[in-house]
Amino acid sequence: MKLTIGMAHHMDFSGAYFTIRHIRQVNKRIKDIEFVVVDNAPDTQHGKDLKTFVEGPCRVGTAGAKYVPMTEAYGTTQTRNRVFSESSGDVVLCVDCHIDLEPFAADRLLEYFEANPKSKNLIQGPMLNDHDGVYATHFEDIWRDQMWGIWGLDKRALANDYVEGLPVIERVHKTKGLAPFEIPAMGLGLFGCLKKYWLGFNQHFRGFGGEEWYIHEKYRKAGYKCLCLPWLRWGHRFGRPDGIGYTLTMDHKVRNYILGHNELGMPLDRIYEHFITSGLFPKQKWDWLLQDPINHVPEQAPPPSTLRRQGQAKPELNALAQKNGAVRNIDMTRPQPPADVTNLDQVYDWCRTIPRDLEQHLPLMKEWASKCDHVTEFTERRESTVGFIAGRPKVFISYNLENDYLLTAEGALHTLAAKDDAIDMFQTVVGDSLQVPEIAETDLLFVDTQHNGARLRAELEKHGHKVRRAIMIHDTHNYGHRGDNGPGLFTALEWWITEHPEWFIAHHSPEQYGMTVLSCNPTDKPEKPIKIWSPGFGPGTELKKILESVGVKPSPTCDCNAKALQMDMWGSAECTANFDQIVGWMKAGEERWGWTGKWKAAAKLAIKDPMLALTLDPSDPFPGLIKAAIKRAKKEEQKRSKIVRARK
């Protein structure tokens, strides 16, 4: 029996290179394995290098290797369909071009199908985390973050003595006794079946999204099963520090979900609830897609490598415009300003009446842009562009991935900006924040791209040193502490302020997903410091240490933890000002939190401060404990303040 391992590729040469190399190195039956790469960006340098690799030494010692250029359909579904049609193996395993199979997994897959030559089931395997522990075995039936399904873990995929850090060969041996089990769905970083039983993705799918759960339901409706093979383990590289070379649009996701549900005879109510009722997706565009979901195909923005000029600029800035400009495909489905608008303020007022992701923040954007001569944004929404241009900075460069007519040279924004004497240049650009060239020096940088702290840090590392006054970040309330598939946005903001002590939080609002503004301009500093994340030390932390020393250890879910976090964010000065309130918290929660009994008698010893111990009342120790915690925190604050001053 022959196995084809195929992958859809788009500007990820290194990922595909090491995936293929590793599979060749850790499987004994490599002469029974064929590689097929379907490249959706064959004209890029990634594609050219990959073609040379696949058609060259990759063939040696294998059952074949094939490089297939494909430009007629964009996205993950038709390229994956093409993997199956181009393969010559009896079994096809389709993988992402940046996964890592455990040793002998391909060998065992061949053995599995040789033992089950008539299996019509769709097979997948557990996904490992970066430390080789099993992270997920399936998808739960939950809609979240524009997607049907969230990661789930079934313990049947775990060997009884499976431990992280065990040498890989020993881990492999310990999975031999684990039996396949049925799963509802799973991410498609790795999936496969006998080639003759591949049911295929809907031929009208385009772009990215909508595949998971759809293909699994398709197999179940055909009378087959979706199985997890516990030993078919694979790691997935989620990190992309250099960004991605393609664009992901909600338009394609929604359309694919509609097409898939229609094909399977499933109601659209859950799609509607997740995207439309929640406000994620405009009702007008939904109605347009429903009219003819097959032929109403959203336009695909061109990759960053095709950037050209778009917009209008005064002669003295044409060089910058030509360097940073772009052309976009046009989406005509979104509402446009009334035909009789005569200035940018009228467009701004009109945009504020249309509920979406950013309209509540437009006054803030306009206000900050009015303070600046040069504004730069990385965004996926036209609303921010409207808000900033209404503030009339002299120069405004908008890297905007939304393919809206309003953002074109012929749209109302460019037409009216060209007539406005306060604006020297306004330019819209199609480009990913990590793919475009380094930006020009700017007074204000706005970032509204991906909800991930690692991504935001990479953006700040690349462009932050070019910012003279303010950095504005969207989505900091919803994704501040925990990001989308990774760390929260606060990790990047805290890192930036730590590395650049002259920067501070000038504004924060939890409204409409959250908006945070950092500044290095002293005139922007608020009367009281704004704190939106835990500093990692403070009176709350010190109070917990004191209580733990006498046996008071609250559970992770205790609401006293939130009180301690608030104390840390207040710091010693604000805790002193709110002293009575904190005492009230402790007294009100004393019994609920378990702060009763013998520990009160030991409180004097716990605070380790002779002067405070003398004034501490064992029958009412809370005031003394809080004073001790504040005093300790103040010393820590002074020590850290000296370090910051030294760095300046």
pLDDT at 639: 82
Position 521 scores a pLDDT of 96
Instruction: Give the pLDDT confidence of 151-188 residue by residue, as tens digits.
Output: 999 988 886 545 555 566 666 766 777 899 999 999 99
Q: Is the pLDDT of residue 593 over 70?
A: no
Q: At how many degrees (to 10) do helices 214-221 and 250-264 cross?
A: 10
Q: Read off φ and ψ for residue 374, nearest 5 degrees.
A: -135, 125
End-to-end CA distance of the chain: 67
Q: Where in the sequence of the chain do the CATH 3.40.50.150 domains occur?
A: 304-524
Give exposure, 489-517, as e/b (b: 16+ Cβ within 10 Å): bbbbbbebeeebeebbbbbbeeebbbbbb
Task: Tell me the three-class secondary structure of 47-73, residue by residue.
Answer: HHHHHHHHCCHHHCCCCCEEEEECCCC
Spatial CB neighbours of 213, under 8 Å, sequence gap ≥ 6: 139, 141, 148, 149, 184, 185
Q: Which residues pair with 519 in a beta bridge?
A: 470, 504
CA proximity to 250, closest of 208, 301, 202: 208
pLDDT at 594: 63
Q: What is the DSSP string of 475-537?
A: STTTSSSEETTEE-HHHHHHHHHHH-TT-EEEEEE-STT-EEEEE--GGG--SS----S--S-
Which residues, including other chains, have CB under 8 Å from residue 527's CB and lie 6 or more apart? Answer: none
* pLDDT at 390 (0 to 100): 97
- Separation of alpha carbons 4 and 192, rounded Å: 10
Q: Is 123 helix (H, G, I), strand (E, B) or coil?
A: strand
* CB-CB neighbours of 130 under 10 Å: 11
314-317: long-range contacts, CB 8 A cutoff, minimum separation 24? 314/424, 314/425, 316/424, 317/395, 317/424, 317/425
**pTM summary value:** 0.52
Q: What is the pLDDT of residue 610?
A: 64
The rounded distance, in Å, linking the Cα atoms of 640 and 534 is 15
**What does the CA dihedral 442, 444, 445, 447 come to, rounded to 10 degrees?**
-160
More confident of the two residues 388 and 355: 388
User: Rounded to whole angstroms, what are the CA distances from 59 to 26, 34, 65, 110, 252?
Assistant: 16, 8, 5, 19, 36
Q: Which residues of 171-197 are buried (b: 16+ CB within 10 A; e: fewer)?
A: bbebbeebebeebebbbbbbbbbbbee
Selected residue with higher pLDDT from 1 and 568? 1
Third-level CATH fold of 3-236: Spore Coat Polysaccharide Biosynthesis Protein SpsA; Chain A (3.90.550)
Over the stretch 277-315, which tens digit does the pLDDT of each residue have? 887 888 888 998 999 999 988 765 444 333 333 343 333
99, with CB counted inside 10 A (0-12, 13-18, 19+), is buried
User: Would you state the structure tokens that stand for residue 57, as one six-digit string?
Assistant: 């030494």
* H-only helix segments in 356-513: 362-370, 382-390, 412-417, 453-463, 489-499
Architecture of domain 304-524: 3-Layer(aba) Sandwich (3.40)
Q: In the predicted model, is pLDDT for residue 334 greater than 80? A: no
Q: 454-499: per-residue pLDDT in tens? A: 999 999 999 999 999 999 999 998 888 788 778 889 999 989 998 9
Q: Work out the mean pLDDT of the chain and round it to a whole number.
A: 84
What is the location of CATH 3.90.550.10 in the chain? 3-236
The whole-angstrom distance between residue 80's C-alpha and the CA centroid of its chain comes to 23
